[in-house]
Amino acid sequence: MTAPQAACLQAALEIGYHLLDRGASLLAAVEQVIRVLEQSGLFNAGKGARRQLDGVRRMDASIMEGLSLRAGAVASIEGIVHPIAAARLVMEETHHVLLVGPMATAFARYFKLEGQQTGRLIRRLSYGAMLERKQLLRDRHGTVGAVARDRSGTVAAGASTGGIDRMLPGRVGDTPIIGCGVYADNQSGAVSMTGIGEGIIRIAAAKEICDRLALRQSPVAAAKAVLKKLVTRIDGAAGALVLAPNGRFAIRHVTPRMAAGWWDGNGTPTVGDQFQ
């Protein structure tokens, strides 16, 4: 993690906490934390989102709150800075949970969300050429996310991503899939995942962690168990932010590093990139 990334994480944590402390809604706090990271260009989300193999940024995001299990998500959205804002609008302005592709982009533009360039093809590639490039490029991944709890005990989770390297056009990972990339339920807890989405999807990681919390496992034990399953069953790679309704939490990962942090309002936020 670079010094600018650490400073950005610290600022995001401070903003989110102060919003809650001043009476803002839980969803507003989670959204704003993620917006700070999307805006920075320092992470694989928003302005820093990676491009798919045809040169276009297609991004995913989701948000969920645990009181009434409301959720909203977008997948393969293009040309906006804050996919997390679009996800929240899906939740609050429609009866749907997930919008995808050009219609998700049109939806975001209808609400006048801040735009950015989607990218352009330097040269037109055939599908065969893209598949060939897919095998040659180095695999990197990353997602920005947040979990939070308000004074009433309601929890929420959100995430936003530009995906992974070697993405075929139209690839969608775990982030916009409720129960995979995020989940929140006041009866169990809130989870936001990061990592290689194909593995996270195959075990519905966020929901399984929450199910274990509902069975009275601690956040640390629940995260460790599901991440161990991810590695042993399908050789996956991921990290998790886990928060129980009583305020206990865990930051765990089975990747070499995971830039993350937490703050309870005392002192300064704790930020690091290893939480083993």
What are the catalytic residues? 143
Output the CA–CA distances (angstroms, integers) from residue 127 to 14, 124, 169, 198, in the order listed: 45, 10, 9, 21
Question: What separation in angstroms does the CA of 92 have from each of 46, 58, 95?
Answer: 21, 22, 8
The DSSP bridge pattern shows strands 143-149 and 155-161 to be antiparallel
Give the residue from 251, 241, 234, 237 showing the smallest Cα distance to 30. 241
**Residue 24, SS3?**
coil
Q: How far from 234 is each of 81, 226, 238, CA to CA, in Å?
A: 33, 12, 12
- Torsion, Cα of 132, 138, 139, 144 (10° steps): -120
Place of tokens 């949970």: 97
Could you tell me the end-to-end alpha-carbon distance of the chain, in angstroms, rounded to an integer? 16
